[in-house]
Chains A and B, each alone.
Chain A
Amino acid sequence: NAGVTQTPKFQVLKTGQSMTLQCAQDMNHEYMSWYRQDPGMGLRLIHYSVGAGITDQGEVPNGYNVSRSTTEDFPLRLLSAAPSQTSVYFCASSRLGRGTYEQYFGPGTRLTVT
């Protein structure tokens, strides 16, 4: 199993450009989520999904869109990049339910917006 994969690893964008960060998992997990990591802020939830066709906003959703057309994939779209979106982005997945299920994180995408 590859676990959670993310592409690209690094990306530089100019202000106003759009792009999609890719995330895929091969563990058949229902729950997937996107976090951004900034120094001194920990990881903050952007969007999450509890299954194909179902997404919802997290703590910091502005400027980002998501969709979930399959169980495996959960792309994150930046509509019009801003310098404030410079960050490291992590995708994570886990089983769904009331049990204490581990969240598995991908290796991250480091994004710089100039």
Chain B
Amino acid sequence: QQQVKQSPQSLIVQKGGIPIINCAYENTAFDYFPWYQQFPGKGPALLIAIRPDVSEKKEGRFTISFNKSAKQFSLHIMDSQPGDSATYFCAARDMSIQGAQKLVFGQGTRLTINP
């Protein structure tokens, strides 16, 4: 059972466009929602994260929108560039084990930005 559902599986956007990746979750115990970026042959790296008491967070060209009542959150990339081509994972932290940073990941989205 996938606790965090991510869509789309792949996405192709022209340079300058705004790709949007969506995630949905069920577990109300999740308390922190990071996005990770992964380039081929590398490990994932933290891109941006949000807590559920905030509806939006921006860092540079990356924005997370969070809808707590709908249990959904999304990543928007403004003015996308070919260098943004990567696989993106949403995740949710399960704090049921005190202090443990257990993350549940979505299935991933392979994003391609065409020049």
Chain A residues at the B interface, C-beta cutoff of 8 Å: 4, 31, 33, 35, 40-45, 48, 50, 56, 58-59, 90, 92, 94-98, 100-103, 105-108
Assembly CA distance A103 to B105 (angstroms) = 13
Chain B residues at the A interface, C-beta cutoff of 8 Å: 2, 4, 6, 9, 32, 34, 36, 41-46, 49, 51, 89, 93, 95, 97-108
Secondary structure class of chain B's binding surface, majority of residues: loop
For residue B49, which residues in chain A have a CB less than 8 angstroms away from its CB? 100
Decide yes or no: A44 and B103 within 8 Å by CB, A105-B43, A108-B43 being known contacts.
no
Inter-subunit contact A42/B107 (CB<8 Å): yes
Inter-subunit contact A100/B43 (CB<8 Å): no
Inter-subunit contact A96/B43 (CB<8 Å): no
Question: Contact check: which of B6, B41, B51, B103 meets A103 at CB < 8 Å?
Answer: B103
